[in-house]
Amino acid sequence: MIKNTIVYLLGIVVGIIFIGIVGDQLRAQDDEIEARIYDEYETSGGESNAFAGSGASIVSKIASIKINPAGLSTGRVYSIEGGYHKPSYGDDFYQIGIVDNKTSSVAAGFLYTDFRKSVQKRLLKEDDAPVKRRFSLGLATSLNEVVSFGIGANYTTAISDVSMDDNGELEFERKNGITAANVGLLVKIGQSVKLGLSAENLFHKSSMRDFNPRFYRFGSSYLLDAGSIQLEFNLDYRGRERIEKEKILDSSLGTLEHMVFVGTSITSYEIIKIMVSYGRAVRNDKRSSLGFGISLKKNDSYISASCLYPYLNVDKKTHTSITLSYAVVI
């Protein structure tokens, strides 16, 4: 019975993803999207790229700090994580973080993001983000065996304007600001079903809005545990606030980008985990995304490699990343 159910559900997910990819490739030559967001804005670290930025009910550790801080309460581990990203849009960047949900009843996570080149050099290119660095903090606690609650905040340093002084030298106006709060809920229904609800950058300064767009996420997941193999399916919605560059390049775009995601992950003998997720914009948007990845695990440590096509229907540009998570024995 369990085996047949696994095959049936997996077939549905794979079919949806396959149909979406084929349809995107048939239209790719006709679609042109200049109004695209920087990869770093949508990146949460960890295994999040493999889920194409979705997973409000399934991400944990570093990835949950921004996507859903309530996910920090999942598991009992003290881990140090580091990741390197080569995005499709913008300069290479890296992320370093720590998650502790082992030494206290309140789980905590910290994520630091920085770029390979200075922001002044990157701004001379038209396709790069004005962000210099980010600090993200998340806290979570389990209210009971069913509900977990998380909060967080981001501190961002960015360049808001570039001008030229009387001597012909470039001047960069620097902006700093705390965006608060990130909030999230995680609800467990039995052993198989989870629901996640979160908002990122819910309150922020108007001067920092373009560097920290709001995200609204709702996700559901279903776990099938067949002993040596665990299969998890997720269905997510993500709403994202448009940045000013998108609005200028395409005035027809709405205030929010709305996307729906479907994905799955297969874990074998708690050693190998394979993930794939496909997302499609709804309403008047044409965007679609595809993410996939693989993790090799040992105890609570893992190394993960992922590849994300942020705008699958437009081009073959990929956002590749590799993450190493080491669980510290305490």
- Please give the pLDDT value at position 85: 93
Q: What's the pLDDT at 38?
A: 86
pLDDT at 75: 81
Of the listed ranges 114-118, 183-187, 231-235, 276-280, the least confidently predicted one is: 114-118
Q: In this predicted model, which residue has the larger pLDDT, 227 or 176?
A: 227
Residue 31 has pLDDT above 50, yes or no: no
Q: Which tokens hold the place of 22?
A: 């084929």
Q: How far is CA 106 from CA 43, 69, 74, 179, in A?
A: 25, 12, 11, 22
Q: Write the DSSP symbol of residue 103.
A: S
Q: How far apart are CA 236 and CA 216, in angstroms?
A: 11
Q: So where are the chain's domains? A: 2-327
Q: How far apart are the first and last CA of the chain?
A: 41
**Please, what sign has the CA dihedral across residues 111, 117, 121, 125?**
negative
For 273-304, what is each residue's pLDDT tens digit?
999 999 999 977 788 999 999 999 888 788 99
Q: Which pTM was predicted?
A: 0.85
Q: If you write DSSP's letter for every residue of 267-318 in order, what string do you get? A: EETTTEEEEEEEEEE-TT---EEEEEEEEEEETTEEEEEEEEETTTTT----
| Predicted confidence (pLDDT) at residue 219 exceeds the cutoff of 90 | yes
SS3 7: helix
For 278, half-sphere exposure in the C-beta direction (CA atoms, 13 angstrom radius) is 15
pLDDT attached to residue 91? 82
Higher pLDDT, 43 or 249: 43
So what's the pLDDT on residue 18? Answer: 45
CATH architecture for residues 2-327 = Beta Barrel (2.40)
pLDDT at 180 over 80: no
The pLDDT of residue 264 is above 80: yes
CA-CA-CA-CA torsion sign (308, 310, 312, 314)? negative
Over residues 136-164, the mean pLDDT reads 86
Which pLDDT score, from 0 to 100, does residue 329 have?
A: 59
CA distance 163 to 128: 17
